[in-house]
């Protein structure tokens, strides 16, 4: 067993979980596919700021977030469209719509940049939720790693599944990062495949927080220190609280 330090207490944890957490933080600070390391950390910072955003609070309380106008606090290096994406995904994701995604993507925020934002928001939400659950302070942001994003768009990505273009195992090409053999290819794995490296980044963490795809329905074995039934109880309640249909 490895250890997670929580307020000077060392809690036993699976080595794979501890490694996945460290790798996720390293990746958040590193150049991605469409954002560089500093930009990715700026997105992380906005995820953390969104909880205190007045516009987000007013929208969350409104019957429809689309009737409340205003601006999120400005942030260096991020466009209005990027801020809108980060804040909405962080505070009110269940009321995202295809029309909203279409309205904020374009010249100022490409669809590829949007998908990478989805991954960053999801990743830091997972990491910060874990720390909050454990009872330890949010991790200070690491320094960014220099370098340029790869800007690789998969040639086979098409818009036939989701609000954004996606890949399937059949449309991955040799020069694309291929997340499907490792993590699976159901819709949740395809969701961010316009930026396939982000599928790998997010699910490398998520399978250690939750379960690997083949472990989920293997009811003959337990893979965690809590049972399948307890895990799915948590999963169902958390998804319901978040208003997630999937």
Partner 1 sequence: MTGETVDLHAMINGKSTVDGVLHSAPILRFVDALLIDPDDLPQARTALRDILSDAAFVDTCATVASFNAVVKVADGTGIPLEDFKADKTARLRADLNIDQLREHGRF
Taking CB under 8 A as the criterion, the residue among 80, 125, 145, 168 binding partner 1 is 125
Site stretch for partner 1 (CB under 8 A), options 34-42, 74-82, 167-175, 233-241: 233-241
Interatomic CA distance for residues 83 and 85, integer angstroms = 5
Taking CB under 8 A as the criterion, the residue among 36, 46, 105, 123 binding partner 1 is 123
Residues 2-31 close enough to bind partner 1 by CB under 8 A: 4, 11-13, 17
Site stretch for partner 1 (CB under 8 A), options 27-35, 68-76, 116-124, 147-155: 116-124
Sign of CA dihedral 49, 50, 51, 57: positive
The reply on whether position 106 binds partner 1 by CB under 8 A is no
Number of other residues whose CB lies within 10 A of the CB of residue 173: 11
- Residue 201 to residues 39, 118, 125, 204, 208: CA-CA distances in angstroms? 17, 12, 14, 5, 12
Interatomic CA distance for residues 176 and 197, integer angstroms = 8
Taking CB under 8 A as the criterion, the residue among 26, 58, 151, 237 binding partner 1 is 237
**How many residues belong to the site for partner 1 (CB under 8 A)?**
76
- Tallying the residues shown for the chain, one arrives at 246
Interatomic CA distance for residues 185 and 183, integer angstroms = 7
Binding mask 33-72 for partner 1 (x = CB under 8 A): ------------------------------xxxxx-----
Asked if residue 27 lies in contact with residue 35, where contact means CB atoms within 8 angstroms, the answer is: no
Residues 173-202 close enough to bind partner 1 by CB under 8 A: 186-188, 190-192, 202
The reply on whether position 143 binds partner 1 by CB under 8 A is no
């Amino acid at each position: 067993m490895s250890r997670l330090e929580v307020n000077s207490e060392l809690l036993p944890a699976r080595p794979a979980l501890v490694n996945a957490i460290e790798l996720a933080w390293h990746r958040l600070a590193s150049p991605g596919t469409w954002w560089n390391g500093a930009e990715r950390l700026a997105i992380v910072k906005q995820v953390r700021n969104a909880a205190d955003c007045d516009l987000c609070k007013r929208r969350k309380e409104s019957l429809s977030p689309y009737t409340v106008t205003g601006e999120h606090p400005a942030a260096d290096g991020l466009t209005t469209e990027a801020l809108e994406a980060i804040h909405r995904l962080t505070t009110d994701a269940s009321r995202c719509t295809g029309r909203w995604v279409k309205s904020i993507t374009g010249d100022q925020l490409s669809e590829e940049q949007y998908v990478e934002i989805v991954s960053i928001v999801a990743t830091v939400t997972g990491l910060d939720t874990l720390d909050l659950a454990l009872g330890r302070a949010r991790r200070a942001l690491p320094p960014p790693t220099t370098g340029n994003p790869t800007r690789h768009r998969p040639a086979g990505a098409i818009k036939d599944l989701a609000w954004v273009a996606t890949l399937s195992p059949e449309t991955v090409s040799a020069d694309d990062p291929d997340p499907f053999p490792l993590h699976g290819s159901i819709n949740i794995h395809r969701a961010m495949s316009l930026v396939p490296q982000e599928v790998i980044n997010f699910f490398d963490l998520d399978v250690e927080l939750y379960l690997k795809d083949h472990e989920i329905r293997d009811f003959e074995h337990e893979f965690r220190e809590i049972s399948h039934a307890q895990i799915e109880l948590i999963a169902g309640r958390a998804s319901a609280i978040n208003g997630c249909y999937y």
